[in-house]
Amino acid sequence: MKAIVFDRFGGPEVLREVDIEVPQPGPGQVRVRVKAAGLNALDGKIRSGMMEALRPTTTPAVPGGELAGTVDALGEGVTGMQVGDGVLGWSDTGSYAEYALATNVALKPAALEWQHAAALPVASETAERVLGMLGVAAGETVLMHGASGAVGTLAVQLAVARGARVIATAGPSNQDYLAALGATATVYGTGLVERVRALAPDGIDAVFDLAGKGALEDSITLRGGTERIVTIADFRAQQLGVTFSRGSAAPSVERLAALAQDAAMGTLVTTVTAYPLEQAAAAQQVSDAGHVRGKLVLTVD
Ligand SMILES: NC(=O)c1ccc[n+]([C@@H]2O[C@H](COP(=O)([O-])OP(=O)(O)OC[C@H]3O[C@@H](n4cnc5c(N)ncnc54)[C@H](OP(=O)(O)O)[C@@H]3O)[C@@H](O)[C@H]2O)c1
């Protein structure tokens, strides 16, 4: 099968297309004929070698942690799925490939397009996990740093659905985008504390840092302490006394199925830019630059 691999750490140029064996599903796994692979900022961090201390990689490695596609083979003990079913979920083997193995997948609503399905697993699990940790409730005001990307696009909508007011940061070109998602938008960078205070004179109840670009000190100032601040991207968290949240080893397939229904009905909006699998390096270069609106996906066919 066709797959993208890297066998040394470096920039996007280390990615190359190869022909490798189709993987065989083990107990509890399905094999998925991949239609779309979600691209995450983490993929570039793993490829660069930056994650080695926390999460060592065996090379050659196929990148990609999520997918949408059709079930192609069933491993022992799999129930509730049949060959030919459309699914979305987390890949056990890399998803930048024609076929991948997966344990945690949900059935894909027919009305949800492959590319939009592939945008959901990681971003929706992350957004829901952190909103839950923060205990964001109706009537509260939550500040989100860097909310125009993949996770932020969903986090803004899910927080608004909880009845919260969201003040969200992004660059100048994404202010209207955040407003359309339901947030009060402002730009990141110098003067943030004053801008947020002007928008929320009664204070901020919780902070979700999605960017990891140095906004924790401002967050602590705005909250008057480190309580109810969670970052998913700033590795200085521990040093500053702030909670860092990592991906879940056992994501909820039931929640993914419910959110996929919302996305199919249009009540949860995903924004997708697609590249063909062969252009994985170009797509990772865009991701590495750190200014993606919504989600990048790779289409496979
Ligand atoms: N720990 C976890 O469980 C977990 C899970 C998923 C993702 N992550 C991490 O969380 C981060 C966000 O993920 P993502 O997929 O949403 O990334 P993404 O799609 O690449 O989005 C990055 C966003 O950051 C914004 N940004 C860029 N520079 C900024 C700055 N100086 N201050 C504030 N915002 C800035 C960009 O906005 P503009 O384009 O408007 O500049 C862009 O919308 C990544 O670092 C990713 O690796 C962690």
CATH number at residue 172: 3.40.50.720
Where are the strands (E) in the chain, listed by range?
2-5, 16-19, 30-39, 66-74, 86-90, 99-102, 104-107, 141-145, 165-170, 184-187, 206-209, 229-231, 243-244, 272-276, 295-299
259 part of a folded domain = no
What is the distance in A from the centroid of ligand 1 to the CA of 21? Answer: 34
For the CA of 41, the closest atom of ligand 1 is 47
39: domain range? 2-119+271-299
User: In angstroms, what is the span from residue 146 Cα to ligand 1's centroid?
Assistant: 6
Is 255 contained in some domain? no
Whether residue 132 sits in one domain with residue 112: no
Q: Are residues 219 and 207 in the same domain?
A: yes
End-of-domain residue from the set 244, 261, 291 = 244
Residue 172 lies in a domain: yes
pLDDT of residue 112: 98
Total structural domains in the chain?
2
87 and 158, same structural domain?
A: no
pLDDT at 163: 98
| Bridging pattern class, strands 229-231 and 206-209 | parallel
Rg (CA), the chain: 19
Residue 205 within any structural domain of the chain: yes
| Virtual torsion, Cα 43, 126, 228, 234, nearest 10 deg | 0
Do residue 237 and residue 281 come from a single domain?
no
Query: What separation in angstroms does the CA of 285 have from each of 48, 71, 214?
Result: 11, 30, 22
Task: Give the three-state DSSP class for 123.
Answer: helix
Residue 261: inside a domain: no
- Is 215 a domain residue? yes
Nearest ligand 1 atom to the CA of 291 is 39
pLDDT value of residue 250: 86
Per-residue confidence (pLDDT) for residue 68, from 0 to 100 = 98
Tell me: do 12 and 73 sit in the same domain.
yes
Is residue 200 domain-shared with residue 279, that is, in the same domain?
A: no
**Same domain, yes or no, for 17 and 109?**
yes
Rounded to 5 degrees, φ, ψ at 24 are -105, 130
pLDDT score recorded for residue 249: 80
User: Same domain, yes or no, for 108 and 14?
Assistant: yes
Verdict on whether the full-model pTM lies above 0.85: yes
Task: Let me know if residue 293 belongs to a domain.
Answer: yes
- On whether both 144 and 189 belong to a single domain, the answer is yes
Same domain, 239 and 200: yes
Express each pLDDT in 100-148 by its tens digit: 999 999 999 999 999 999 999 999 999 999 999 999 999 999 999 999 9
Rounded CA separation 115/36 (Å) = 5
Enumerate residues lining ligand 1, CB below 6 A: 40-42, 122, 126, 145-146, 148-152, 169-171, 174, 188, 210-213, 232-233, 245-247, 287, 290-292
Stretches in the chain below the pLDDT threshold 70: none
130 and 240 together in one domain: yes
Of 32, 144, 165, whose CA–CA distance to 90 is shortest? 32
Mutation to probe ligand 1, out of 151, 217, 297 (largest number of atoms < 8 A from CB): 151
Tokens for 222? 């705005």
Strands 243-244 and 229-231: parallel
Say if 128 falls within a structural domain: yes
CB 284 within 8 A of CB 43: yes
Contact 204, 143 (CB under 8 A): yes
Query: How many Cβ atoms are within 10 Å of 268's Cβ, its own excluded?
Result: 20
Q: Give CA–CA dist 301/294, Å, rounded.
A: 23
Q: Which residues pair with 33 in a beta bridge?
A: 70, 99
Same domain, 175 and 203: yes
CATH code, domain with 72: 3.90.180.10
Distance 210 CA to ligand 1 centre (A): 5
